[in-house]
Structure formats: C-alpha cells, structure tokens
Amino acid sequence: MDHSSLAGRIFRGVALALVLVFFMFPIVWILMMSFQTNEQILRIPPHILFEPTLSNYQALISGQLRTTAGNLEIPFMRNLMNSFVLSSAAVLLALLLGVPAAYAFARFKFRLGESIAFTLLSFRFAPPLLVLLPLSLYYQQLGLSDTYFGIVWVYQLIALPLILWIVRGYFEDISPDIEHAYRLAGHSWREAFTRIAVPLAGPGIAAAGLLSFIFCWNNFVFALILASADKQPVTVGALAFVTASGIQYGQIAAAIVLSVTPTLLLALYAQRYLVEGLSLGAVKG
Amino acid sequence: MARLELNSVGKAFGAVRCADDLSLVVEPGEIVAVFGPSGSGKTVLLRMIAGMFEPDDGDILVGGRSIVGAPPERRGIGMAFQNFALFPHMSAQDNIASGLRAKAKGGELTSRVTSISRLLKIEHVLGHMPRELSNGQKQRTALARALIGNPEVLLLDDPLRNVDAKLRYEMRLELPSLLRRSSAAVLYVTQDYREAMAIADRIAVLIEGRLVQVARPEEIYARPASVAVARLFGDPSINLAEVTPHTKQADLTAEIAGTKVRLDPVDQQAADHGPCWLGVRPDDLVVTRTASEDAIPARIVAITPMHERAVLLLRFADGSEWLAALPPDSPMASADDGVFVRFAPEAALLFDRATGLRVGLPHRRQAA
C-alpha cells in the first residue's frame, strides 16, 4: 500500500515522467522522423503533429531511393540480412569456442592459464584502427577479405573475450561438488559438462551471447574496411543515405528503427532466461 | 560386497601434508567415522577415495582392486556431500535417479527410486525442485542419490552439518540401521565426536593428516591414545594438570595444587616416567564440602546450568582451573563456595608431557 501523501505521489509521477521522457526522447523522436518526409523533418520550428508517410520504409524495402538528383539503388535489406548472418555466425562460433574455454579456465589451473585468458581479453583493448591495416593486408594475401568467413572470423574475436570472461564467472559460481556428484553417479566428465555445467551456467551464456551479439551488430570499422558492398552490414550500409543531393534523414531514421528491431526483440525474448535460473538454490541455503 | 583398504596413502598440497601415511581397512557393512578437528585432512581423504584428487603415494583398494587413477564414475562409490550438491535444475526424483540412470531403465528405475525414497521418507517431495526442499529433505535426497546405486563404498562428508538440531538427532538414530541395510563399507566424516560415537562401529581419529587412533568409540573415550585425542572427545573437555608421579610406600601418587592424590597402580610404570600430563574427565570429579586427605581444596568460580547437569568452574590454590560436571540431583552449590574435589584413581589418565602419548600404553601406531 502507498501511504504517502497526494503531493508526494504527484511529485513522484512527475519525476518518473521526466526521467522517462529524458531516456525515451531520442528513440521516440527517431520513430517519429521515420514517418516524415525530409521536408517535414527539416521544418523550423519542428512540428509534433504531422501527416505520417510510409515512403521511407517503402524506399528501404524496395531498395529504390528517390532523391532530387534522381533514383539511387540502396541494398538496405541485403545489409540487414548481412548484419544478421554475420553477427549470428560470429556469436555461434564464439559460443562454440568460448564456452568450453571458459569452463577450462574456471575449473582447471594450468600453466599460463591466466596469461592466456588475459591475452584473449586484451583483444578488446586494442584500438581497431591499429589492427585494421595489418589485418587487411593479411586478409588480401590470404584471400579472406570480402568473404563472409573472413568477416565472421574478425567479428568472432569481438565476441569471444566477452563470452569467455562472463561465462567463466558463472562456471566458477557453480560448486564443483555438483559436478563431482554427477560423475560419481556414473557419468563421464563430458556428460557432467553438457548436462550439469552448461545448463546451470545457461543464464550467463545467454547474457554473454546477447551482449556479444549487440557488440557484433554495432561494429562498423571492421566491416567498412574488410567488406565490399554486397557483404556490408547495416552500420556500413547507412552511409548510403548521405547522398549528393543531401542527407536523407527520413530514411536514416527508418533504417535505425529497422536495424534496432531485431536486437530489441532478441533482448526482450532473452530477458526471462536471464532472470530465470539466477535464483536456483544450487547448494545449501 | 567389497572392503575398502587404504595403504599408506599420502598427499601434500605444496608444503602442507594433508594425508600422511594413512592406513585403514573398512569391512563391508562396517561404519567407520573419520573424526578430527577442521583442517585435519578428513575431506581430502574422502576426495582421494572418490577420485577428485589422486594420492601422491600409497594405494587405495576396493575389493582388493586398486582404484587409484580410475575416473570417479568407474570407482563404484556413492557419496553424500556436506553441502548436499543436488542438481538444482532437476527434480528430487531426477536427482535420485541420476545415480542409477547409467545402470537401470524405465520401470525398474522408477520402482527403485520409489522404494529408496519411501525408506528415507521423501516420497511426497519427489516432484519438487531442490530449491523447494527444506534442508532436511535436501539432505535425505542427497543420501538417497548416494545409496540408490548400491555402491560398494559409501562416503558421507559431514552429512548432518547443515541440518537443524532436531533432525540431526533423529538422523543419528536412523542412519546406522539405514547404512547397515546397504552393506557397503561406509566412511563417515564428522567434526562432532558425539555423532561419531553414535553412528560408527569404529572411529578413526585424524589429526594433522595422521591417523592417531583407530578404535571402538567406548575405547577411544576411556583410553585415548594421546592428550590430543583425549581433548577432542568429551564436552566439557578433559581437565589436565602437569604432574610428576612417584611411588611412595607402594602407592603411586601425584601432586595436584599441593595435594597428593593416589593414582591407579596399573599405571605403575609411570613412576619413573618423569613429567606427565594428568587428565581427568569433568564427569569423573566428585565435589564435596567435606575435607579428606586426598581431596583437593578448590573454590567455585562459576556455575553453568546445562539442563541435565551443571558445569562448575573450579580454581585450585595454585591458580589452575578445572571443570566438573555434576549430575542434576547433586546438592546445590553456589559461586565462591569452598569445596573439595576427589576422583577415583582409575579415572586418571597419564600422558607423556613431551610426546603427548598415553603412558602405560604400548607406543605403537594404532592402525587397524
């Protein structure tokens, strides 16, 4: 029950509304922009009320950008698809490599173990631009530049350290006795890993996967240098809206809305898995 | 069924020797309690048998076959952990069945889970997840999981540590018959000497990685091998005094706080032994108001009523303090009263001052 006074409740409501407006404003504004034409957006003063148009979305989905300078082809849907393929493949690969590695780092003390784990994390410290020049030279020689495989390989390096370090913490939180008990019950260590360790670290694996998916999805420089037009993700593809006849704000807004949607849906879907299971009463208590 | 045999098992972690030349035999159907203070190496010993660590030297045999180097799942061992270690994402039923899934299928599996859970009185919670179980139910589920595979060796790592006092008392009564039903060789680790005495056929006292005494519970209580063992068994713990026994007119005597007391002539050889510890259990002290020749004068410093008996803190003339436990029907005394303390000669235990070993006992390592 709320026992506070009427004034207190009103104040709280206003404060909440202000915070909500502060955080939601950019998103709401972009959503509104995506339903306006360039002329409507650039009006001064801006109008809250306008006649909505679907022309921006039409242009993006059909791939035909009509500007005053003429028709322009933009492969936005393909970019979106690329983003999706590259990010999911990179996260899957990183999960496949990172989860067993995280388990090894959590459970076993071996020579240079900490150094290896830290080296993997240090990939995140390196400024991408510093790595890019040698990387693109190597890629050209190896024939990896402008291939999905090559880009996934680089993206995977963004995801792997995150997954490794987050999931390692979750594995460390599982009492080793639980796995010992499973092995004494007549199961091999592989079964103990897949049936006990991985399910118990599930929420952590989901969180790490989601986070690294977002990092991959938002990557710009690697894809800009290493991929040509037909393999570029949305982050790079959005550059096409800066045209000779001006910046297409309406399409940019629509593109943002479309490219945010998949990650947003994924986050909403994964949310319940993130919360569920964290409260599992593993051992005594 | 098979016997469990440890042959001079040793294990060190860095400079710390957690197990030093441990030899022990547990017969099928026998319950041996491994008792010792915390950090004495009890858990390390169990984990070496279970296959979580390998011993540095020595051998571990089950039914005459060495299990050193074998993976845990092939050792034929059941284990219940102090923290229960239930699988949190499986129901109690699946937890119990996991111990058998590798060996039995379908109907047989279900019927065995049902029968073991009926035995342990957890039938009604089989569908629950571990987080929905009380500590007592968790503990019984863990026991059921350890027992269901009919292991040749059963390791129980302080299973009653995390359950409440009432349940601990009940389980102390139930466990021996339950464990004997399985006819496995049982090693039961505990930090509570009463639990060890209630449950075990024999007690192995482990101190700093060494087995100091292995014997029947009543023997360990009556004839501890060393001061350290004497101190661990008994609450309140044993009273100790520094004495130098000597023989006078065929009587063995010692001087405590200025009073000469007679000792059991069985300990005659202690006469020329030199400095000793003299130990008397608080229950063996008789506290009276009447003076006599061999009664030690003392002053009551404090009285702690402990339900079925009272514990007196006594101070002798030389400032040393002893504890006495009195039966409830003894005459009321109050703090600061002057009293006299006596004990029967045979109640006194003598230990060498330097080695701590009991005087009069053959100085051999009691291994079996």
Give the E-state strand segments of B94-228 in sequence order: 153-157, 185-190, 202-207, 210-215
A175 and chain B in contact, CB less than 8 A: yes
Query: Which of A156-169 are b and which e, b meaning 16 or more Cβ less than 10 Å from the residue's Cβ?
Result: bbbbbbbbbbbbbe
CA distance B86 to chain A (A): 6
Residue B175 has pLDDT above 60, yes or no: yes
CA distance B123 to chain A (A): 21
Residue B363 has pLDDT above 60, yes or no: no
The nearest alpha carbon in chain A to B130 belongs to: A281
Of the partner residues A180, A186, A200, the one whose CB lies closest to the CB of residue B88: A200
Contact A187 B73 (CB under 8 A): yes
B66 and chain A in contact, CB less than 8 A: no
Contact A196 B87 (CB under 8 A): yes
Angle at A148 between CA A146 and CA A150, to 5 degrees: 70
Helix (H) or strand (E) holding B59: strand B57-62
- Give helix then strand counts, H and E, for chain A: 14, 4
- Give the HSE-up count for residue B368: Cα atoms under 13 Å, Cβ half-sphere: 8
CA distance B274 to chain A (A): 50
Mean pLDDT calculated for residue range B175-180:
85
Contact B85 A178 (CB under 8 A): yes
CA distance A284 to chain B (A): 5
Counting one residue from chain A and one from chain B, the pairs whose CB atoms sit within 8 A come to 82
Residue with tokens 């300078």: A69
Residues of B with CB below 8 A from A199's CB? 89
Distance from C-alpha of B279 to C-alpha of B224, rounded to nearest angstrom: 10
Amino acid A285: pLDDT: 34
CA distance B189 to chain A (A): 16
DSSP H helices in A34-147? 38-41, 55-62, 76-107, 113-122, 128-142
Contact A281 B88 (CB under 8 A): yes
Q: Judged by CB atoms within 8 Å, which residues 36-95 of A form the interface with B? A: none
Percentages of chain B per state (helix, strand, coil), in multiples of 5: 30, 35, 40
Amino acid B216: pLDDT: 94
Mean pLDDT calculated for residue range B74-83:
89
pLDDT for A16-59, tens place per residue? 999 999 998 998 889 988 898 888 888 888 777 788 888 888 88
Residues of A with CB below 8 A from B85's CB? 175, 177-178, 180-181, 283
**DSSP state, B329?**
T
The answer to whether B301 and B309 have CB atoms below 8 angstroms apart is: no
Amino acid B265: pLDDT: 66
The nearest alpha carbon in chain A to B147 belongs to: A185
**What are B283's two structure tokens?**
């229950």
DSSP string, B273-317: S-SEEEEE-GGG-EEESS--TTPEEEEEEEEEEETTEEEEEEEET
The answer to whether A252 and A238 have CB atoms below 8 angstroms apart is: yes
B286-288 sheet: strands from edge to edge: B286-288, B338-342, B296-306, B309-316, B321-326
pLDDT for B18-42, tens place per residue? 889 999 999 999 999 999 988 888 9
Q: Provide the ipTM.
A: 0.80
Percentages of chain A per state (helix, strand, coil), in multiples of 5: 70, 5, 25
A183 and chain B in contact, CB less than 8 A: yes
Among B18, B15, B6, CA closest to B207: B18
A173 and chain B in contact, CB less than 8 A: no
Q: Judged by CB atoms within 8 Å, which residues 82-121 of B form the interface with A? A: 82-89, 98-103
B72 and chain A in contact, CB less than 8 A: yes
Distance from C-alpha of B224 to C-alpha of B36, rounded to nearest angstrom: 14
pLDDT for A124-179, tens place per residue? 788 888 888 898 899 999 988 888 999 999 898 889 998 998 899 889 988 889 99
Of the partner residues A183, A282, A284, the one whose CB lies closest to the CB of residue B73: A183
Contact A186 B75 (CB under 8 A): no
Contact A185 B81 (CB under 8 A): no
Distance from C-alpha of A135 to C-alpha of A123, rounded to nearest angstrom: 13
Of A230 and B155, which is predicted with more confidence? Answer: B155
pLDDT band at A100 (very low <50, low <70, confident <90, very high): very high
Mean pLDDT calculated for residue range A209-225:
88
CA dihedral sign, ordered B224, B226, B232, B238: positive
Of the partner residues B82, B131, B145, the one whose CB lies closest to the CB of residue A185: B145
Residue A282 has pLDDT above 50, yes or no: no
Query: Which of B193-209 are b and which e, b meaning 16 or more Cβ less than 10 Å from the residue's Cβ?
Result: bebbbbbbbbbbbbbeb
Angle at B275 between CA B270 and CA B276, to 5 degrees: 65
The answer to whether B30 and B185 have CB atoms below 8 angstroms apart is: yes
Q: Judged by CB atoms within 8 Å, which residues 207-246 of A form the interface with B? A: none
The answer to whether B322 and B281 have CB atoms below 8 angstroms apart is: no
Residues of B with CB below 8 A from A184's CB? 50-51, 72-73, 75, 77-79, 146
Of the partner residues A181, A184, A284, the one whose CB lies closest to the CB of residue B162: A284
Among A132, A45, A180, A231, CA closest to B43: A180
Contact A184 B162 (CB under 8 A): no
